[in-house]
Structure 1
Amino acid sequence: MFRHALQAVAFLSEDKITAKVELLKKTFTWTDAEVGIVVSKCPQVLSRNKESLERRSEFLISELGLEPAYIAYRPALLTYSLEGRLRPRCYIVKFLKENGLLDHDRDYYNTLSISEKVFMEKFIFPHKEAAPHLTQDYANACRGEVSARFSFT
């Protein structure tokens, strides 16, 4: 972790680190303590640019409905690709929930943090009969092409 922390702040001045901390507080409505938790668990978040953090905040808080404190204790969520991992996996989970193929209290962090192989084994392959299009829809979503089946109201 020390190596990651050093890499995150090696080329940032104290003013830039302070500005990044303020940006995190404002973007995610975190307290000083929550920002401290985030930076101690995932110092590379300091190297993320403003737009990247804002897009992740918008998706995780506004679209998924996750609480800021939930994200603060799971800052790895901020390191995953928004278009290549977060959105596609969330589309799959929403689709499965809405079609009664998955229980509604599934934890998003566990879904997002597992490897691609495990995700496929747990969320795609078991539903091949009920949703034969799921494998292709997921592959398309990972490329940024969102299936009409993933349009939720």
Structure 2
Amino acid sequence: MLRLRKCVVSYILSSSSTSAISPLRRLPSTTAAPISPNPSSFAVEEYLVHACGLTRPQALKASTKLSHLKSPAKPNAVLAFLSGLGLSGADAAAAVAKDPQLLCAKVDKTLAPLVDGLTGLGLSRSDIARLLSLTPDHFRRRVIKPNVVFLRECGLGDCDIAQLCIHAPRLLTANPERVWAMVACAEGIGVPRGSGMFREALHAVAFQSKEKIAAKVDYLKNTFRWSDAEASVAV
């Protein structure tokens, strides 16, 4: 036993110079280990990739506008609503990529009432889904209602507005000022509000510049030697 103690003491003394240093050298690697993220935190970028179907670059860009989200509750409700409306996964992903804050919209107070209003105009759910996928930002901001009210004031019925929405869906979601300008342009080519051709005239001038429309009218007048009234009818 005495001999064993001497051997142990001798070993400790002989290796003290290295054994005292090596543990200290190991300390930095232990203390510098990365801290694992809080498992309860909501990883927005990962959600956008795995739940919404965005690409990694799209998710990285979109996540900067959704940093305030703390849970997937509201986005899940929006995605479920879009799916129920008939949007495919790819269409929903495209809508979220265009307008990430769509995921923050309130289903019961914003999205559902708009869908009900558009359904009341005669639009099918597929028409509404197409409208939402094309302009999700305007859909979320509820500019559709003032545009519908204004078009009704111009003498268009709900069926007329629905037809306009199908052929030119951006007309209902454009800024109201732009819609007013389109109406003025339609009147400028000689088609007054309330006339039977007003819907067709509004569709013809939608999202075209005044210069382009004037050029078309001049072309008709010069080619066929028409008057302003005749060119307006043709347009």
TM-score by structure 2 length? 0.41
Say if 1:89 and 1:45 are closer, same or farther in 2 by CA, change over 3 A.
farther
Match of 2:32? none
Say whether 1:75 aligns with 2:136. yes
Say if 1:4 and 1:113 are closer, same or farther in 2 by CA, change over 3 A.
farther
Q: By how many angstroms is 1:45 displaced?
A: 1.0
1:108-141 deviation digits (Å, cap 9, x = unpaired)? 313531451x322321472799459xxxxxxxxx
Match of 1:149? none
Say if 1:76 and 1:96 are closer, same or farther in 2 by CA, change over 3 A.
same
Match of 1:13? 71
Separation in 1, partners of 2:121, 2:70: 32
Match of 1:24? 82
Separation in 1, partners of 2:174, 2:138: 8
Separation in 2, partners of 1:18, 1:80: 19
Q: Secondary structure of 1:7's match? A: coil
Identity %: 12
In the alignment, residue 20 of structure 1 is paired with which amino acid? V
Separation in 2, partners of 1:53, 1:63: 16
Specify the structure having the higher radius of gyration (Cα): 2
Say whether 1:120 aligns with 2:180. yes
Say if 1:42 and 1:75, in contact at 8 Å, map to a contact too. Answer: yes
Q: By how many angstroms is 1:40 displaced?
A: 0.6
Alignment of 1:125-136 (within 5 A): 126=187, 130-131=192-193
Task: State which drifts further: 40-49 or 123-132.
Answer: 123-132
Q: Which consecutive unaligned segments of at least 5 residues does structure 1 have?
A: 133-153
Q: By how many angstroms is 1:19 displaced?
A: 3.2
Q: What is the aligned length?
A: 126
Q: Which consecutive unaligned segments of at least 5 residues does structure 2 have?
A: 1-57, 195-235
In the alignment, residue 76 of structure 1 is paired with which amino acid? D
Q: By how many angstroms is 1:49 displaced?
A: 0.5
Separation in 1, partners of 2:181, 2:152: 16
1:74-118 deviation digits (Å, cap 9, x = unpaired)? 22341233575243244256x3479x9xxx6651313531451x3
Q: Secondary structure of 1:10's match? A: coil
In the alignment, residue 92 of structure 2 is paired with which amino acid? V
Say if 1:79 and 1:5 are closer, same or farther in 2 by CA, change over 3 A.
farther
Say if 1:54 and 1:85 are closer, same or farther in 2 by CA, change over 3 A.
same
Root mean square deviation, CA, Å: 3.8
TM-score by structure 1 length? 0.58
In the alignment, residue 18 of structure 1 is paired with which amino acid? N
1:15-53 deviation digits (Å, cap 9, x = unpaired)? 442333112212x22121111111111111111101211
Say if 1:74 and 1:109, in contact at 8 Å, map to a contact too. Answer: yes
Q: By how many angstroms is 1:64 displaced?
A: 4.8
Separation in 1, partners of 2:92, 2:139: 13
